[in-house]
């Protein structure tokens, strides 16, 4: 199913906009065994539905914390499913079974450390244990792979940014503001966002 929000897309020719394919991967031993309902993917997808106004398609995966399987899944999403963007949730802590960053780094051509640094900076405003998180991001071919936290609240906060007490103005920008321009730099498609949810940054020409 192609997803497109009913928001006018201005300043860009429609010929410049193609469907973007996004891989969504929830990594959890217990959720993959149906011991509890996975909340990461539904919350992540709900946020993307609000934020993205250009057409996009999701490819969803729910897998256990197995490094080889995580790496294999990321490769399949990029190489076989042609996903332009892959977002993972879970498995980024310091526990023995948390191996998402290791799997991600093993399949990437270049690491983009700034994504993880900004996520930790945002989350430290809420919990001191954010310093224990190990999220990162990599480029594979012309695709962007980003690790996100596992908790739904943290997913939204790191994507969208830190807002003021009224929830109106963004005090600290979230990581997703950099994703559209990042995709363009590596040869990816044009990704348009709803400014009310997350304002994309593009340098003035």
Q: Which domains does the chain have, with CATH numbers?
A: 16-185 (3.40.980.10)
Looking only at the bridges linking them, the beta strands covering 110-111 and 137-140 are antiparallel
- Give the pLDDT of residue 16: 61
Give the mean model confidence (pLDDT) for residues 176-191: 96
pTM score of the predicted model = 0.91
Q: pLDDT per residue over 122-164, tens digit each?
A: 999 889 999 999 999 999 999 999 999 999 999 999 999 888 7
Q: pLDDT per residue over 81-134, tens digit each?
A: 999 999 999 999 999 999 999 999 999 999 999 999 999 999 998 899 999 999
pLDDT at 6 over 90: no
Query: Residue 1 — very low, low, confident or very high, per pLDDT cuts 50/70/90?
Result: very low
Using the 8-state DSSP alphabet, how is residue 168 labeled? -
Q: Residues for the chain: how many in total?
A: 205
**Core vs surface per residue 118-136: b (16+ CB within 10 A) or e:** bbbebbeeeeeebeebbbb
């Amino acid at each position: 199913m192609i997803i497109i929000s009913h928001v006018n897309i201005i300043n860009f020719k429609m010929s410049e906009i193609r469907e973007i394919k996004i891989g969504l991967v929830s990594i959890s031993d217990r959720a993959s065994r149906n011991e509890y309902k996975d909340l990461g993917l539904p919350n992540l997808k709900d946020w993307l539905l609000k934020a993205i106004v250009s057409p996009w398609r999701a490819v969803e995966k729910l897998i256990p914390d197995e490094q080889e399987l995580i790496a294999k899944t990321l490769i399949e999403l990029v190489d076989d499913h042609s996903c332009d963007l892959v977002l993972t949730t879970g498995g980024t802590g310091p526990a023995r079974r948390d191996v998402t960053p290791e799997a991600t780094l093993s399949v990437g051509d270049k690491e983009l450390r700034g994504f993880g640094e900004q996520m930790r900076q945002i989350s430290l405003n809420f919990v001191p244990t954010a310093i224990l998180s190990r999220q990162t991001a990599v480029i594979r071919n012309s695709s962007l792979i980003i690790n996100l936290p596992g908790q739904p609240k943290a997913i939204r906060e790191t994507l969208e940014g830190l807002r003021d007490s009224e929830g109106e103005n963004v005090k600290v920008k979230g990581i997703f503001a950099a994703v559209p321009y990042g995709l363009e730099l590596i040869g990816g498609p044009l990704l348009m966002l709803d400014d009310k949810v997350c304002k994309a940054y593009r340098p003035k020409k």
